């Protein structure tokens, strides 16, 4: 699996856009809306390689913060000078830095591409890039508010270990969110999807990235992944409560959510 | 199921693998590959892998003819049986260097070094669904560099186009025909003029006149002079222009 992603790292984003016709962006947006993070949240994004989730998180939290500030300003139109001076003190102590994302990936190449992207797009604060294995995370217990893994868990050899690690590193009250390819529930769409996956995706891989085999592997790993209900049961086995899932695009992808309570 | 070591698991759709590196493909996939590789090769001629894929996916009608040409020739059929491969690991580079100037071996080595290319960067065949034909196209790729030497053409755009014209006449491979037709698009007016007035007519005449280039066991002829091999193969000497 490691070699697959080494080859794939540089062209990862282009391939995602080509294969999903850009729809993967919408799926990731839905994930963030479901997460609905507030400023001050500490996110761990596992298998987050090129940073798609991390950047969206930062944008979301920034816009929430901006709205909060604007609301505060509106309400504070009639403050005394002393109150205004006090509020400057407050904001100096709380810069953006209280929301943070740690992007963790087993593959250095993917992280490198992510860091370069961050620089290019102007994300400087609140981001860390850590090499690590989802089955054995290099973090202490109960550190994070939210754990996400987007299109990464199907590549983990022992999914149950990854789920256990997710449980371990989340604070009590923390949320587990997984965005992953799943089983299509519509028979007609399922046939079209299979045709597209097996006939077209490896060809795209060969033509765009010069790599048929990695994309053949990708299509097969999607088929091997447990369906929605089975995965839900696995998440419950790891100790999460109020586990639920939401199908997107008729089940081509699903968002599974669970809480550590 | 876990992926196999090469990161690839499970059955392939459409058939089993006939040779190492073989990727069986359905007719739809071949058509998509041909179209996609043609577009990418046109857009970025340095994507040699796309040129190779184009050759493999469009060559299916022509490759059997080439294979038969080889079978019907004594030296060609020996090549087909013994399946020699030109690789840096099998070439005696120092031995070639010691050969006198003007010999095939010495000039081939000079060509590789001047143009900073290596026979090892040739892509192995992937999408040809016949093991013998996969070798034929592989041989064609490896002989391509020798053609540069035999025709005296460097690896710049102009030189490549000339070799493609020669190969298009010789082999009939659609990829060569496409390369010959679209390659000149990227040349400036002066080069186009030289191409049209001198080089293409010579390439066509030589291509028609010459014996099949795949029928020579080049590896056994390193000591032969280029001039004598050209005469033997009935290739006309190149025109005296700077390429």
| Per-residue confidence (pLDDT) for residue B7, from 0 to 100 | 37
Could you tell me if residue A154 is inside a domain? Answer: yes
Q: Indicate whether A202 pLDDT > 70.
A: yes
Q: Indicate whether A130 pLDDT > 50.
A: yes
The closest CB to that of B7, out of A157, A199, A214, belongs to A214
| CB contacts, 8 Å: B49 with chain A | 210
Mutation to test the B interface, candidates A158, A200, A203, A226, most B Cβ within 10 Å = A203
> What's the pTM value of the predicted model, to 2 decimals?
0.79
Lowest mean pLDDT among A162-166, A209-213, A232-236: A209-213
What is the CA A73 to chain-centroid distance, rounded?
Answer: 33
| Per-residue confidence (pLDDT) for residue B61, from 0 to 100 | 86
| CB contacts, 8 Å: A214 with chain B | 7
What's the pLDDT band for B6 if we cut at 50, 70, 90?
very low
The closest CB to that of A207, out of B3, B6, B33, belongs to B33
What's the pLDDT band for A90 if we cut at 50, 70, 90?
low
Q: Indicate whether A54 pLDDT > 50.
A: yes
Ordered DSSP codes for B18-31: -STT-----HHHHH
| CB contacts, 8 Å: A212 with chain B | 23, 126
- Residue ranges of domains in chain B: 60-233
DSSP classification of residue B240: S
What's the pLDDT band for B11 if we cut at 50, 70, 90?
very low
The closest CB to that of A220, out of B9, B26, B37, belongs to B9
Query: pLDDT (tens digit, 9 = 90+) per residue, B136-152?
Result: 999 998 898 899 888 98
What's the pLDDT band for B185 if we cut at 50, 70, 90?
confident
What's the pLDDT band for A77 if we cut at 50, 70, 90?
confident
Q: Indicate whether B33 pLDDT > 80.
A: yes
Query: pLDDT (tens digit, 9 = 90+) per residue, A173-199?
Result: 999 999 999 999 899 999 999 999 999
Three-state DSSP class for residue B223: coil
Q: Indicate whether B169 pLDDT > 50.
A: yes
Beta strands, E only, B75-156: none
Mean pLDDT, range A113-137, rounded to an integer: 92
| Per-residue confidence (pLDDT) for residue B196, from 0 to 100 | 86
| CB contacts, 8 Å: A158 with chain B | none
Q: Do A207 and B36 touch (CB under 8 A)?
A: yes
Q: Which of residues 216-245 of A touch B (CB under 8 A)?
A: 216-217, 220-221, 224
The burial of A13, by beta-carbon neighbours within 10 Å (0-12 exposed, 13-18 middle, 19 or more buried), is given as: middle
Could you tell me if residue A213 is inside a domain? Answer: no
Mean pLDDT, range A111-130, rounded to an integer: 90
Q: Indicate whether B231 pLDDT > 60.
A: yes
Nearest-by-CA chain B residue for A194: B13
| Per-residue confidence (pLDDT) for residue A140, from 0 to 100 | 94
| Per-residue confidence (pLDDT) for residue B87, from 0 to 100 | 83
Mean pLDDT, all residues of chain B: 86
Which own/partner contact pairs does A219-226 have at CB distance under 8 Å and 24+ positions apart? A220/B3, A220/B9, A220/B10, A221/A154, A221/A155, A221/B3, A222/A154, A222/A181, A222/A197, A224/A154, A224/B1, A225/A154, A225/A180, A225/A181, A225/A182, A226/A159
Q: Do B47 and A213 touch (CB under 8 A)?
A: no
What's the pLDDT band for A3 if we cut at 50, 70, 90?
low
Mean pLDDT, range B32-50, rounded to an integer: 87
The closest CB to that of B37, out of A3, A202, A207, belongs to A207
CA distance A223 to chain B (A): 11
DSSP classification of residue B158: H
Mean pLDDT, all residues of chain A: 89
Q: Indicate whether A48 pLDDT > 70.
A: yes
Q: Do A157 and B2 touch (CB under 8 A)?
A: yes
Rounded to a whole number of angstroms, the distance between the first and last alpha carbons of chain A is: 33
Q: Indicate whether A169 pLDDT > 70.
A: yes
| Per-residue confidence (pLDDT) for residue A92, from 0 to 100 | 52
Q: Which ipTM did the prediction report?
A: 0.79
What is the spatial distance between Cα A157 and Cα A115, in angstroms, rounded to a whole number?
A: 26
Could you tell me if residue A36 is inside a domain? Answer: yes
| Per-residue confidence (pLDDT) for residue A58, from 0 to 100 | 93
Bigger pLDDT: A228 vs A21: A228
Q: Is the separation of the CB atoms in B243 and B153 below 8 Å?
A: yes
What's the pLDDT band for B9 if we cut at 50, 70, 90?
very low
Q: Do A207 and B10 touch (CB under 8 A)?
A: no
Bigger pLDDT: B5 vs B42: B42
Work out the number of other CB atoms within 10 angstroms of the CB of residue B142. Answer: 17
Express as a percent the part of chain A with pLDDT over 70. Answer: 93
| Per-residue confidence (pLDDT) for residue B1, from 0 to 100 | 37
| Per-residue confidence (pLDDT) for residue B121, from 0 to 100 | 76
Could you tell me if residue A51 is inside a domain? Answer: yes
| Per-residue confidence (pLDDT) for residue B152, from 0 to 100 | 87
What's the pLDDT band for A128 if we cut at 50, 70, 90?
very high
| Per-residue confidence (pLDDT) for residue A166, from 0 to 100 | 96
What is the spatial distance between Cα A12 and Cα A4, in angstroms, rounded to a whole number?
A: 11
Mean pLDDT, range B237-243, rounded to an integer: 82
Query: CATH code at A134?
Result: 3.40.50.150
Query: pLDDT (tens digit, 9 = 90+) per residue, A225-246?
Result: 999 999 999 999 999 999 999 9
Could you tell me if residue A204 is inside a domain? Answer: no
Domain span at residue A9 reads 1-182+225-260
Q: Do A203 and B36 touch (CB under 8 A)?
A: yes
Characterize the bridge pairing of strands A241-248 and A253-259. antiparallel
What's the pLDDT band for A18 if we cut at 50, 70, 90?
confident
Could you tell me if residue A196 is inside a domain? Answer: no
């Amino acid at each position: 699996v490691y070699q697959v992603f080494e080859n794939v790292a540089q062209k990862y984003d282009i391939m995602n856009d080509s294969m999903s016709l850009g729809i993967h962006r919408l799926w990731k947006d839905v994930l963030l809306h479901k997460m609905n993070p507030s400023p001050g949240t500490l996110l761990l994004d596992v298998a987050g390689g090129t940073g798609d989730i991390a950047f969206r998180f930062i944008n979301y939290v920034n816009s929430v913060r901006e709205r909060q500030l604007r609301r505060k300003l509106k309400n504070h139109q009639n403050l005394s000078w002393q109150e205004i001076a006090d509020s400057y003190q407050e904001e100096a102590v709380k810069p953006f830095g209280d929301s943070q994302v740690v992007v963790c990936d087993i593959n250095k190449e993917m992280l490198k591409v992510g860091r370069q992207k961050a620089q290019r797009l102007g994300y400087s604060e609140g981001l860390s890039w850590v090499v690590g294995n989802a089955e054995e995370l290099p973090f202490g217990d109960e550190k994070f508010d939210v754990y996400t893994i987007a299109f990464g868990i199907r590549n983990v050899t022992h999914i149950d270990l990854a789920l256990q690690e997710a449980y371990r590193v989340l604070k009590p009250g923390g949320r587990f969110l997984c965005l992953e390819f799943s089983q299509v529930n519509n028979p007609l769409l399922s046939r079209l999807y299979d045709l597209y996956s097996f006939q077209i995706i490896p060809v795209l891989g060969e033509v765009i990235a010069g790599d048929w085999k990695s994309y053949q592997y990708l299509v097969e790993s999607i088929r091997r992944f447990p369906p929605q209900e089975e995965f839900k049961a696995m998440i419950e086995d790891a100790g999460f409560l109020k586990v639920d899932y939401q199908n997107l695009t008729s089940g081509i992808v699903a968002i599974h959510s669970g809480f550590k309570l | 199921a876990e992926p196999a070591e090469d990161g690839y698991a499970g059955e392939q759709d459409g058939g089993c693998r006939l040779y190492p590196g073989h990727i069986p493909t359905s007719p739809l996939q071949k058509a998509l590959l041909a179209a996609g590789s043609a577009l990418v090769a046109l857009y970025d001629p340095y994507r040699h892998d796309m040129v190779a894929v184009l050759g493999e996916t469009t060559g299916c009608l022509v490759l059997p003819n080439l294979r038969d040409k080889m079978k019907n020739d004594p030296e060609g059929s020996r090549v087909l049986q013994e399946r020699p491969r030109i690789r840096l690991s099998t070439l005696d580079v120092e031995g070639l260097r010691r050969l006198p100037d003007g010999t095939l071996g010495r000039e081939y080595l000079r060509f590789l070094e001047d143009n900073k290319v290596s026979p090892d960067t040739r892509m192995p065949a992937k999408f040809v669904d016949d093991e013998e034909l996969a070798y034929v196209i592989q041989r064609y790729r490896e002989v391509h560099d020798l053609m540069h030497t035999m025709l005296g053409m460097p690896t710049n755009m102009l030189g490549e186009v000339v070799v493609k014209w020669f190969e298009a006449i010789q082999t009939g491979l659609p990829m060569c025909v496409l390369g010959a037709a679209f390659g000149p698009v990227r040349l400036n007016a002066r080069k186009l003029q030289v191409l049209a007035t001198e080089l293409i007519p010579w390439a066509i005449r030589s291509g028609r006149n010459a014996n099949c280039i795949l029928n020579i066991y080049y590896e056994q002829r390193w000591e032969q002079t280029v001039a004598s091999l050209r005469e033997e193969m009935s290739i006309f000497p190149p025109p005296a222009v700077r390429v």
